[in-house]
Chain A
Amino acid sequence: MATQHSRSAARLMIAPAVTLLLGWMLIPLSMTLFFSFKKYLPMRGDSLENGLDWVGFENYARFVTSSSFWPAVQATLIIVGGVLVVTVILGVILALLLDQEMWGQGIVRILVIAPFFVMPTVSALLWKNMFMDPINGFFAHILKAVGLQPIAFLSQHSLGALVTIVSWQWLPFATLILLTATQSLDREQLEAAEMDGARWQSRFIYIMLPHLARAITVVILIQTIFLLGIFAEILVTTQGSFGTKTLTYLIFQRVLESQNVGLGSAGGVYAIILANIVAIFLMRIVGKNLDA
């Protein structure tokens, strides 16, 4: 159907987008690669104009042998994984609940999606100060009111606290997608199953879950893309202490706090590799499931 003519027209139409993204990817990437093989300590007077010393793979070796590296990979995976698990499970429950008949469904839905509009900095600030603060925070007041010791969430349960904050931001997203998927469930099939005496659990496992699989995949794909890069939440709350230093945050420390651009760039290259591993892995699943 597509003629030669329309094919070349199509290529022309895709070209600007591809060129721009390629530039956006390649220019910084090649500069990052370049820096990663150099000694680049701006505070010591190193600069592009003066020329940078070649140090081979030293930055790469140093980045992985640092005692912070593996904990950072681990923290990244825990946070991303934790948020995915929480948002998908709660998202499914919420979606099934919101799908039921009730009064004021529209308003409830507005309430549920609201956190999605809150900028990450603000949401981190409000949780850290107004809620999780062990002195003046909402939770501390509640705990004291019932006679318990206030908890310093961000130090004693740092990863849990971060997962909570980020999940709060992303739960609306998961819920909305899953809700849309739930609404297209085949009611008759469900009713038939109910008539046949299938229990609630088996209806959920054999009919609802398979139907939701595609939506769950979309949630996981999109959220992972955004979650791998979370930064503001950590900068505002723990600044990487108490085991919350993710790979992204570690690179930030190397580049900006230690002012070692070479070392940070090597870290950046590792992060890109990790992101791509995750990406390929995800694409595989999604490719199968999405049938683009």
Chain B
Amino acid sequence: MARAVTPRRKALNTVVAWVIGLIIFFPIMWIFILSFKTEGSAILPPLDVLRSSWTFENYGVVQDRSDYFKYFGNSVVLAFGSTLLGLIIAVPAAWAMAFVPSRRTKDILMWMLSTKMLPAVGVLYPIYLLFIKLGILDSRIGLTIVLMLINLPIIIWMLYTYFREIPGEILEAARMDGANLREEVLYVLTPMAIPGIASTVLLNVILAWNEAFWTLNLTAANAAPLTAFIASYSSPEGLFYAKLSAASVMAIAPILIMGWFSQKQLVRGLTFGAVK
């Protein structure tokens, strides 16, 4: 940023970047527009769509048909619940890996990450049978655990990279002052780790919110989140663009808004601390 840029160059940058940004964002903006149109006008050529009248009726129809807030509530519980549960398990593990590394630490990390590569479809039957035996099909607790397990490797990995950035000397000093392990974690480590934990939480909430295989296959009426809500609006008989758009907007808006507000933390979170 130190370099001075000519106004012309800056204007050029601005135009190019805005055009590209708008192109990338366009699909989302387009369904937003379609969600305020009637079914009949949602399939018209783009210019006619824009000229047609606006309506809120799709949102009303969708809400009437499927109780949005039930699905929304489940999504919130599952996304935050699984992240929180994950943190409880991951923080000690990542802490230990970062501050008391052993020769095998790296291998363990890599192995954890590799568990994410197991193809979910391949193990659907085993998991389904297991859930029946445990009686946790279509329960929020069962799904919370699954989502936690899916994302646990990512949580640990991210926390580990953050914790490693915390200078060990500070802990040493605390220890000298007579702090025990609990105090060390609680009063010294935690405040320093808050930004890293925040980024981790954010990324995992997004991943859990958008997870669409297990959330669809392990739920029925009770624990179904927004991914199941959407499945009732894709390709029904007749015209459906406007209602599908409204339902889509309702499903993605909460996480989109949350993501935008916290994009600074997110950027940090996404980089896994590996990039500076």
Q: Determine how close the nearest CB of chain A comes to the CB of B57; give it in whole angstroms.
A: 19
Q: Is A78 an interface residue (CB 8 A)?
A: no
Residues of A within 8 A of B24 (CB): 111-112, 114-115, 168, 171-172
Are A17's CB and B156's CB within 8 A? yes
Are B89's CB and A17's CB within 8 A? yes
- The main secondary structure of chain B at its interface with chain A is helix
> CB-defined interface of A121-139 with B at 8 Å, one 1/0 digit per residue?
1110111011100001010
Are A28's CB and B117's CB within 8 A? no
CA–CA, A50 and B271, complex, Å: 50
CA–CA, A98 and B100, complex, Å: 39
Q: Is A59 an interface residue (CB 8 A)?
A: no
Residues of A within 8 A of B129 (CB): 31, 48
Contact count band on B? 35 or more
Residues of B within 8 A of A141 (CB): 44-46
CA–CA, A222 and B124, complex, Å: 23
Q: Is A85 an interface residue (CB 8 A)?
A: no
Are A232's CB and B212's CB within 8 A? yes
Are B110's CB and A31's CB within 8 A? no
With beta carbons under 8 angstroms apart, the residue of A9, A20, A118, A248 that contacts B256 is A118
With beta carbons under 8 angstroms apart, the residue of A2, A6, A101 that contacts B1 is A101
Contact count band on A? 35 or more
Are B14's CB and A251's CB within 8 A? no
Interface set, chain A 250-290, CB cutoff 8 A to B: 251-252, 255-256, 261, 264-265, 267-269, 271-272, 275-276, 278-279, 283, 287, 290
Residues of B within 8 A of A118 (CB): 28, 210, 252, 256
Are A114's CB and B121's CB within 8 A? no
With beta carbons under 8 angstroms apart, the residue of B113, B152, B245, B260 that contacts A225 is B113
Q: Is A45 an interface residue (CB 8 A)?
A: no
Residues of A within 8 A of B17 (CB): 97-98, 100, 102, 105, 108
Output the nearest chain A residue to B185 by Cβ-Cβ distance: A13
Residues of A within 8 A of B122 (CB): 32, 251, 255, 264-265, 267-269, 271-272
